[in-house]
């Protein structure tokens, strides 16, 4: 982040200064849109715009300003000048630091919503005071926010890179091979398996690149690079519509900036 975010559990005893409110109705975030820019509400309380959240969670501070996530009721009446938008829609219109916090907020909000009761004995859970966890007072089961690790890999063959297209992508867009880590797998084993399953080739020289929280719904995307080793492209039609090798000088439509896929692609194009 460009600004300083400090995670926190316990909110201020008195909320006396404006805070960032990441308020969600379902999976849509409350924002004010002006032209091509979206803004997060900056208020002492959501009551200032006529909203009463079902529950809220303190996230921490961004440059000493409190940040909260909040779950809005289904019948919430949205104030004039504000709207609800999905995080994918906000990808290019929201400040990068606030987008990252929106990703954190929706995951914590959803975890809080779905862990009100113990999954083992159905007792009402309690929030632990010093960590992001819920404990069952009856059986002692502790639940932390769920995180689903996934890998994404840029596969190169000389000056070419392998790009693939899934049916859910916007028209004409291609991206990188990605997939969730299965129980018992290392990250490297996941890459080998996913690449083999989706495009039928083998890779080598797998190297870590970077990571990115990805709130769709609760992933941590872990980026790698790899080099083509052998095999011909044979796509899994249940996963992909197409896959092909592309020259770094002649790429199709690719994912937008902020995504780790784009960071991998930009890095590869810029290397000699």
CATH label of the domain that carries residue 208: 3.90.79.10
Do 174 and 61 lie in one domain? The reply is: no
pTM over 0.75: yes
Q: How many distinct structural domains can be found in the chain?
A: 2
Do both 32 and 98 map to the same domain? yes
What is the Cα–Cα distance from 176 to 263, expressed in whole angstroms?
A: 11
Q: What is the pLDDT of residue 150?
A: 96
Residue 130: partners with Cβ closer than 8 Å, 6 or more residues away: 9, 10
Whether residue 105 is found in the same domain as residue 155 = no
Q: What is the pLDDT of residue 96?
A: 86
Q: Are 104 and 153 within one domain?
A: no
pLDDT (tens place) for every residue of the chain, 272 residues total: 478 999 999 999 888 899 999 999 999 999 999 988 999 999 999 999 999 999 999 999 999 999 999 999 988 999 999 999 999 889 889 988 999 999 999 999 999 999 999 999 999 999 999 999 999 999 999 999 989 999 999 999 999 999 999 999 999 999 999 999 999 999 999 999 999 999 999 999 999 999 998 888 889 999 999 999 999 999 999 999 999 999 999 999 999 887 899 999 999 999 87
Known binding residues for Zn(2+) = 118, 121, 136, 139
d(CA 18, CA 176): 41
Annotated binding residues for substrate, written as ranges, equal 88, 131, 144, 212-219, 261
Please, which residues have CB within 8 angstroms of residue 1's CB and are 6 or more apart in sequence? 96, 97, 100
Q: Return the DSSP state at 122.
A: -
Alpha-carbon distance of 243 to 237, in angstroms, equals 10
- Domain range for residue 158? 148-270
3-class secondary structure, 142: strand
Q: Is the domain of 107 the same as that of 155?
A: no
On whether residue 126 sits in a domain, the answer given is no
Tell which of 114, 136, 157 closes a domain.
114
Tokens representing 29? 């975030």
Binding residues: 88, 118, 121, 131, 136, 139, 144, 178, 194, 198, 212-219, 239, 261
One domain for residues 160 and 266:
yes
First-to-last C-alpha distance (Å) of the chain: 28
pLDDT given at position 215: 87
Q: Which of 86, 55, 21 is nearest to 217 (CA)?
A: 86
What is the model's pLDDT at position 214? 86
């Amino acid at each position: 982040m460009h600004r300083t975010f400090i995670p926190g559990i316990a909110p201020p005893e008195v909320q006396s200064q404006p805070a960032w409110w990441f308020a969600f109705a379902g999976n849509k975030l409350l924002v004010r849109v002006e032209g091509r820019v979206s803004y997060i509400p900056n208020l002492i309380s959501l009551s200032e715009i006529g909203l009463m959240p079902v529950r809220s969670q303190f996230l921490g501070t961004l440059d000493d300003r409190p940040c909260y996530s909040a779950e809005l009721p289904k019948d919430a009446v949205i104030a004039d000048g504000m709207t609800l938008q999905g995080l994918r829609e906000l990808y290019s219109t929201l400040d990068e630091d606030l987008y990252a916090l929106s990703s954190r907020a929706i995951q914590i909000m959803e975890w809080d919503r779905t862990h009100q009761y113990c999954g083992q004995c159905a007792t009402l859970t309690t929030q632990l005071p010093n960590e992001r966890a819920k404990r069952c007072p009856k059986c002692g089961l502790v639940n932390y926010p769920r995180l689903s690790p996934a890998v994404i890999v840029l596969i190169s063959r000389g000056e070419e890179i392998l790009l693939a297209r899934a049916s859910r992508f916007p028209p004409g867009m291609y991206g990188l091979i990605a997939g969730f880590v299965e129980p018992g797998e290392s990250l490297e084993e996941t890459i080998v398996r996913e690449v083999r399953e989706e495009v039928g080739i083998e890779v080598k020289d797998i190297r870590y690149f970077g990571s990115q929280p990805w709130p769709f719904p609760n992933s941590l995307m872990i980026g790698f690079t790899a080099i083509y080793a052998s095999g011909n492209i044979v796509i899994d039609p249940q996963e992909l519509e197409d896959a092909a090798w592309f020259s770094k000088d002649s790429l199709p439509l690719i994912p937008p900036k902020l995504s780790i896929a784009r960071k991998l692609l930009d890095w590869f194009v810029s290397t000699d």
